[in-house]
Amino acid sequence: MNISDMEVVLSVMKNAGYRETVDNPEAAEIIFINTCAIRDNAEQKVWQRLNYFWFLKRQWKRNVAQGRVVVLGCMAERLKEKILDSDKMVDVVCGPDAYRDLPRLLQEVDYGQKGINTLLSLEETYADISPVRIMKNSVTAFVSVMRGCNNMCSFCIVPFTRGRERSRPVESIVKEVGELWEEGVKEVTLLGQNVNSYNDESGVEQEVEAGSNWKYSEGFSSMCKIKNVGLRFSDLLDRLSTEFPEMRFRYTSPHPKDFPDDLLHVMRNRHNVCNFIHLPAQSGSSRMIERMRRGYTREAYLELVEKIRRTIPDVGISSDFICGFCGETEEDHKETLSLVSTVGYDMAFMFAYSMREKTHAHRNYADDVPEEVKQRRLTELIETFRESTGQCYDSQIGSVQLVLVEGPNKRAPETELMGKSDRGHRVSFVTVPVPNRTAEGAADQQQQRNPVVGDYVEVRILRSSRASLYGEALAITKLSLFYCNTVENEGVACAV
């Protein structure tokens, strides 16, 4: 999300007359620091960077007339003036909904003031801004489709730093994806704090009864009221995957409550929507899940996992977990370990809990799990995850995966390429000439060439190591061709 936000910031600055980005902060006239506030750890890193820039700036002022440090994003939103008062020589503090105001804020600095705007908006989606891509030659890109979160999970600061949910109109997203396709992008990750509660209300002409027609995953609930039901995430995915059949789509980060059947069906039926779902559980104990105000139970979560696996064959699942949340007992922790073993995740993001001001937990609970217990539980969780994920990687040995080549394998840049499979696993293989698939699906042995960045390559998996796969390239193909020829026979529809 922060990369995507920086691309919006670059566009705003470009329109204000700033033309060039530089590689070294030492050479910059303005340094933007985009920040995260989700954990104390993330904020400490930002303070370390600010210390570094503080030293840099003292030298810098001697060399460059106009040296500015700008703090953007969630930490700016959370701490506001406190950052300006911190003695770190920060010039501008700008919250995530105020990026359009940056040129004015920087002008204030020219007049000897500090600039600050941390107003949150109910409407801002930056839909009309064409982001300036940071990784210009990359074949993958991010597209932000919604912002904010209404969920108020008791541990989470995001609703206070990113504001209420709002979605970009479908048309503006289709336009941006079309431009990316023209630039040679082959895979787009759709982004949002709560991406699958996407709700494009721009075409809704009158208010409908609160909550009507809005389907949650079975057994899940939410405290939020939905006023108008517009085009939902399944509609957006359906439209994008139909309009761009040779482009692959992923999305993050979803909430497990927003997986109604029609979303699962779009994922199953569209060859170019990746078979990968991030399903943040946070805990395996129903008691803790309730204290976290997540709106489900362990049982409902497991039933959803089962339904996802029934509906979408060979789907990969990842998750987020918090260790040592307020009141977590050894029993609760064991339930989390058992959930991780039961589900067998492809990936997981695991953290020790750190309390954030303003949240429901801060106001109502005690942060009563000692730090060393949190760390011990985190270690146990990581070990449990590693045991189960190894099996998930091993199970793919012998299969043929479709890999979008993203670049050389850093470990053997001269001889190997690296990319991601549909399921999001890193796959590397030796660069050798391989045949092209013809429109009829045959491997044309007369037309062999080395795969290059941006090619879709069929790779047979030969071995797995922790968190990556290694295989042999078989053929270069088109995305739709691969699924029509390889997967259709296994009962998955191929819509091109």
Write out the residues near ligand SF4 by the rule CB under 6 A: 149, 151-153, 156, 158-159, 193-194, 255
Give 488's DSSP letter: G
Of 291, 351, 343, nearest to 320 by C-alpha is: 351
Residue 253 beta carbon to ligand SF4: minimum distance, rounded to whole angstroms: 7
In the bound state with ligand SF4, the residue whose beta carbon lies nearer, of 215 and 293, is 293
Residue 214 beta carbon to ligand SF4: minimum distance, rounded to whole angstroms: 16
* 302, two tokens: 């497991």
CA atoms within 13 A on the CB side of 341: 11
In the bound state with ligand SF4, the residue whose beta carbon lies nearer, of 193 and 384, is 193
Residue 319 beta carbon to ligand SF4: minimum distance, rounded to whole angstroms: 12
Please give the sequence-ordered ranges of beta strands (E in DSSP) within 409-455, or none if there are none: 416-421, 426-430, 434-437, 443-449
Of 299, 251, 238, nearest to 278 by C-alpha is: 251
Residue 193 beta carbon to ligand SF4: minimum distance, rounded to whole angstroms: 5
Residue 1 beta carbon to ligand SF4: minimum distance, rounded to whole angstroms: 10
Residue 255 beta carbon to ligand SF4: minimum distance, rounded to whole angstroms: 5
Of 111, 74, 112, 65, nearest to 93 by C-alpha is: 74
Q: How far, in Å, are 36, 223, 255, 348 from residue 301 at the CA level?
A: 28, 17, 11, 16
In the bound state with ligand SF4, the residue whose beta carbon lies nearer, of 158 and 247, is 158
Q: What are phi and psi of 235, to 5 degrees?
A: -65, -40
Residue 441 beta carbon to ligand SF4: minimum distance, rounded to whole angstroms: 42
- β-pairing, 426-430 with 468-477? parallel
CA angle 47, 193, 124 (to 5 degrees): 90
Residue 205 beta carbon to ligand SF4: minimum distance, rounded to whole angstroms: 29
Residue 294 beta carbon to ligand SF4: minimum distance, rounded to whole angstroms: 7
In the bound state with ligand SF4, the residue whose beta carbon lies nearer, of 320 and 380, is 320
Q: 456 — alpha (psi -120 to 50), left (phi > 0) or beta?
A: beta
Beta bridge pairs of residue 420? 404, 426
Kindly provide the b/e burial profile for residues 60-96, where b requires at least 16 CB atoms within 10 angstroms of the residue's own CB: beeeeeebbbbbbbbbbbbbeeebbeeebbbbbbbbb
User: d(Cα 202, Cα 179) in Å, to the nearest integer?
Assistant: 22
474: CB partners within 8 A, 6+ apart: 400, 434, 443, 457, 458, 459, 460
